[in-house]
Structure 1
């Protein structure tokens, strides 16, 4: 581990350090042969994940990065060379709040003289689809934040987040479900040829942030598209079936059946539905490829098959 307290090492401030992406950033920087100081921001430094990070050399700081706390944000960014920001729309489902808080953080980091600002963004689906899919707020809000960051004048890198491999394990509307004959069916409102940039986020997302910091090919003004493997939904289901030994088939269902099956409030179900339809029609990264973004990674990423093998599916495929 190369996390250090030596003041000659660059200071990286990680927002949301106990989350999937923030924790992955710490993991990747700790694997580097270059030393880093890391200041991890969280709302509760007493929770187990924060205490574990502190034991590993991370300076953990409790702060509420709400839009009315610009002074607090400027304080925690003091002395920072690099800032990593991820926002969690799903925590509150308020895209206006998400955008306002992120803009405040960008402004505070700029005021603190940060040399590199790394943002976990997503495409603006409403723009890419020419307004066809206006309700995917967790993408559209991040697209607005990306535009603001690029125009702010801060040295800005957009390290977009790929499709979480854990979605087919965790999300109720996307889990395989057992049917009467004992087989399992994974049913979605898109075709099996839909291509996704699947990533085991806790293990691999931080590799791309480290690449943005350490590789001369990236840096300020660049865009990094994260992916452990680009794979179709059909191939994902085939591999899941083969590896687990369970008979799992894919079924395309109607939009209405899918939104009902999610069990989510109608507005949230519509958001998930539109995101999937967009991925099928326009591509997760709007037709951009991930090959260049994987060119200078410090180690190989996990494939979908690797993720399946490392995950306990007994609760899903009971």
Structure 2
């Protein structure tokens, strides 16, 4: 059954309906044999991505999810049975803004009387590291919002986002061209460090669908998403195979990564704390603090894509040509 407007099926409110995660959630629900109504939120419902989602049967609501727009935000959730909530730190890079907006979304869902909230979280870095890594705000803000959501009394599930496979071709400066014309996957971690890599756009929504289709909404559940757990050096090896170019893994320092990150427009303070601080944590404790992703993948509606399967769909000639 595709997404429907039938009143007898649950209405799922989806934040960021035209973003990577929201699109993935809507895609997964549209593939389900069960019926869903979906209300998608976007700042601009005239853009192509919003129109594409609307064609799937989604009710699109144009709204800016900021605290200054609180009254309209509350109204936008009215009638929802479930809510998928996500915040985007990298859009504004303000910890205070993210925290206040995340709490507002929980409050709005609560006021609407939803039966359950599904939150897009990240690993609790400060907790896992026992206070050693304290400045990774883009992760620990998500943890604070999750704690706020659990304290609200609404059944609450935290689906933590794994390492985006698309980081290799997008915003993060992870691939570099070498002086000899070859390429390197550059990260400040050991070659044997395991990445819980996930094709977010195709597979993250499967976890949300899994939760919604459980016989009882699993209050308190945490899921750790990945399509495949793979080492850094194995990713480089598979990139060599797929691109038919020599790609090696190169371990760099956190200082080098911070410099590279700041070079793409990230403020130096954010690059140091949110980015380099996370890599230090990742290198020592593991992305999920040593927690396995295997049980989280159990019960998905279909098998998630491997890193190689993701890589085969990337236009590498164009991506590599753009590297300096």
**TM-score, normalization by structure 2:** 0.94
Q: CA RMSD in A?
A: 1.4
The residue aligned with 1:236 is 235
Quick check: 1:151 aligned with 2:154? no
Q: Is the 8 A contact 1:13 1:82 kept in 2?
A: yes
The residue aligned with 1:249 is 248
CA distance in 1 between counterparts of 2:215 and 2:226 reads 20
Aligned length: 317
Farther-moved stretch of structure 1 (219-228 vs 145-154): 219-228
CA offsets 1:43-92 (integer angstroms, 9 cap, x no match): 11111111111122110001122123332222111111110011001010
Quick check: 1:315 aligned with 2:318? yes
Farther-moved stretch of structure 1 (147-156 vs 179-188): 179-188
Displacement after TM superposition at 1:225 (Å)? 1.2
The residue aligned with 2:82 is 82
SS of the residue corresponding to residue 140 of structure 1 reads helix
CA distance in 2 between counterparts of 1:233 and 1:244 reads 16
CA distance in 2 between counterparts of 1:181 and 1:217 reads 57
Q: Is the 8 A contact 2:155 2:217 kept in 1?
A: no
The residue aligned with 2:259 is 260
The residue aligned with 1:66 is 66
Quick check: 1:173 aligned with 2:173? yes
Displacement after TM superposition at 1:186 (Å)? 2.3
Q: Is the 8 A contact 2:2 2:56 kept in 1?
A: no
CA offsets 1:146-198 (integer angstroms, 9 cap, x no match): 111111101111111111001112235211x2223221122222111111111
Farther-moved stretch of structure 1 (256-265 vs 234-243): 256-265
C-alpha change, 1:217 and 1:285, in structure 2 (3 Å) is: farther
Q: Which runs of 5+ in 1 are unaligned?
A: none
CA distance in 1 between counterparts of 2:18 and 2:207 reads 18
CA distance in 1 between counterparts of 2:221 and 2:164 reads 22
Q: Which runs of 5+ in 2 are unaligned?
A: none
Q: Is the 8 A contact 1:70 1:105 kept in 2?
A: no
Mapping for residues 110-149 of structure 1, pairs under 5 Å: 110-149=110-149
Farther-moved stretch of structure 1 (29-38 vs 98-107): 98-107
Mapping for residues 99-110 of structure 1, pairs under 5 Å: 99-110=99-110
SS of the residue corresponding to residue 202 of structure 1 reads helix
The residue aligned with 1:199 is 198
